[in-house]
């Protein structure tokens, strides 16, 4: 099973993502972070295979977290999962180390499909 | 204000605002699992100088959700639900296992409202940002439960800071039940400048 770290300040979204991914029995949630700094700490400690990353967190912007994780040598697949959907922001996320960018709202099926595609 | 715009610029403003509001209705439809439309949005009537006439009079426990617009344009988005409308949204959007659990409901009850505001604000902001070519995004949403007087005081307070010179208001409509949350946006003058720039490029 792939190990997943969820980084999102919304408890509702963390629950939605966890429920969608664990239902497949292909993914195991090994951590949930509500802030950017917590997300970085958990990524370094748990070395997940996948990180789902919100873009607007109380303490940091998701794209900056992605840059910091890559600078630290974290090789996890990263899918940004955010309500911020501007074309330039999506492009910036992918240019700085995220493999994909999923704009909210989305269904559980859409999330699973995009995550599965990262491991093909 | 709108009177500072030419007729062409006003048409552009209406088009952009309507595009944003349609997106917001689509996002709300997603959460409600049914089609939500805008209730007779009349751009001419509903884009105006503050003060606004807000509904939900004589109500308490109004859910006032606010998200600041951050970046090259300043503003604030307010999404306003009555307690009954908020309950209706929770029942439509939350899975049954959460609705059946008092402990989970206590944790998720406000969380779902914040996420709804997050997504709706962002859907409008994305439209504005892409169309007007301005770098903006929404901040972290905030929820206050207020009386109608407190709500009006809050919005009047924002207006009185003299930062917010344009506002528009609409309400949503469900085919199934009485569901009319209100949607109020307040922007500073950079919105007007952005409209002028966009209209000039379209010429």
Residue among A1, A104, A115 at smallest CA distance from A51 = A115
| pTM of structure | 0.84
C-alpha to C-alpha distance for A109 and A82, rounded to whole angstroms: 16
Task: For residue A21, give Cα distances in angstroms to A107, B43, B94.
Answer: 12, 42, 17
CB contact under 8 A, B115 and A12: yes
Q: A84 and B114 in contact by Cβ < 8 A? A: no
Enumerate the residues of chain B whose CB falls inside 8 A of the CB of residue A18: none
Tens of pLDDT, residue by residue over A2-58, are 999 999 999 889 999 999 999 999 999 999 999 999 999 999 999 999 999 999 899
Q: Closest approach of chain A CAs to the CA of B137, in angstroms?
A: 7
- Residue range B176-188, pLDDT digits in tens: 766 777 878 888 8
pLDDT score at B77: 87
For residue B139, which residues of chain A lie inside 8 Å, CB to CB? 56
Angle at B118 between CA A11 and CA A59, to 5 degrees: 65
Domain annotation for chain B: domains and CATH numbers: 2-202 (3.40.1550.10)
Q: Which of B107, B114, B126 sits opposite A85 (nearest CB)?
A: B126
Please choose, from the candidates B184, B186, B188, B187, the residue with its C-alpha nearest in 3D space to the C-alpha of residue B78: B184
Helices (H), chain B: 7-32, 43-46, 83-93, 96-99, 102-132, 148-160, 190-202
Asked whether this complex has an ipTM greater than 0.95, the answer is: no
Predicted confidence at residue A6, as pLDDT, reads 98
Q: How far apart are CA A58 and CA A80, in angstroms?
A: 16
CA A93, A33, A69: angle at the middle one, nearest 5? 40
CB contact under 8 A, A84 and B111: no
DSSP B96-123: HHHHT-HHHHHHHHHHHHHHHHHHHHHH
Please state, in angstroms and rounded to a whole number, the distance separating the CA atoms of residues B61 and B143: 11
Which region holds residue B70: left if phi is over 0, alpha if psi is between -120 and 50, else beta?
Answer: beta
Query: Are A86 and B119 in contact (CB < 8 Å)?
Result: no
CA–CA min distance A61, chain B (Å): 10
Give the pLDDT of residue B3: 64
Chain A: give the shortest CA distance to residue B21, in Å.
Answer: 15
| Per-residue pLDDT, A44 | 97
Low-confidence ranges of chain B (pLDDT < 50): none
Chosen CATH of A2-118 out of 3.40.50.2300, 3.40.50.1000, 3.40.50.10420, 3.40.50.300: 3.40.50.2300
Residue-level pLDDT at A7: 97
What residue segments make up the domains of chain A, in order of their start? 2-118
Longest dimension (CA), chain A: 34
pLDDT at B100: 93
- Put simply, the answer to whether A84 touches B107 (Cβ < 8 Å) is no
What's the length of chain A? 120
Q: Residue B153's pLDDT is what?
A: 87
Scanning every residue of chain B, which has its alpha carbon at the shortest distance from the alpha carbon of A106? B30
- Note whether B115 contacts A87, CB cutoff 8 Å: no
Structure-block tokens of residue B39: 């209730």
- A and B: number of Cβ contacts within 8 A: 57
Interchain contact, A56 vs B112, CB within 8 Å: no
Which neighbouring-strand residues pair with A5?
A31, A51
Minimum Cα–Cα distance from A35: chain B residue = B140
| A60-64, A68-72, A86-90, range with the lowest pLDDT | A86-90
- For A85, the closest of B112, B122, B135 (CB atoms) is B122
What is the structure's pLDDT at B21?
82
The reported pLDDT for the residue numbered A117 is 97
Give the mutation candidate from B20, B137, B142 for the A interface (greatest A CB count, under 10 A).
B137
Q: Are A25 and A51 in contact (CB under 8 A)?
A: no
């Amino acid at each position: 099973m792939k190990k997943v770290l969820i980084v999102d300040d919304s408890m509702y979204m963390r629950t939605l993502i966890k429920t969608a991914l664990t239902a497949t029995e292909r993914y195991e949630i090994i951590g949930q972070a509500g802030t950017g700094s917590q997300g970085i700490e958990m990524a370094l400690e748990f070395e997940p295979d996948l990180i789902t990353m919100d873009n607007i967190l109380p303490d940091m912007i998701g794209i900056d977290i992605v840059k910091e994780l890559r600078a630290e040598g974290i090789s996890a697949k990263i899918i940004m999962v955010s309500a911020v959907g501007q074309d330039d922001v999506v492009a910036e996320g992918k240019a700085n180390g995220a493999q994909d960018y999923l704009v909210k709202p989305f269904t559980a099926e859409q999330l699973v499909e995009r995550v599965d595609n990262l491991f093909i | 204000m709108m009177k500072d715009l030419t007729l062409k610029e006003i048409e552009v403003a209406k088009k952009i605002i309507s595009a944003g509001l349609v997106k917001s209705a689509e996002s709300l439809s997603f959460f409600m699992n049914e089609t939500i439309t805008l209730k007779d949005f009349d751009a001419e009537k509903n884009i105006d100088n503050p003060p606004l006439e807000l509904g939900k009079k004589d109500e308490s426990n109004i859910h006032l959700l606010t998200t600041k617009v951050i970046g090259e344009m300043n503003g604030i988005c307010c999404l306003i639900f009555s307690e009954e409308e908020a309950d209706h949204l929770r029942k439509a959007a939350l899975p049954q296992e959460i609705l059946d659990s008092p402990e989970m409901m206590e944790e998720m009850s406000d969380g779902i409202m914040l996420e709804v505001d997050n997504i709706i604000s962002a859907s409008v902001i994305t439209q504005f940002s892409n169309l007007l070519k301005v770098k903006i995004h929404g901040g972290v949403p905030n929820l206050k439960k207020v009386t109608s007087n407190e709500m009006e005081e809050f919005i009047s307070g924002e207006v009185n800071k003299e930062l917010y010179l344009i506002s528009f208001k609409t309400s949503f409509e469900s085919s199934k039940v009485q569901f009319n949350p209100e949607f109020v946006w307040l922007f500073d003058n950079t919105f007007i400048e952005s409209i002028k720039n966009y209209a000039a490029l379209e010429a």
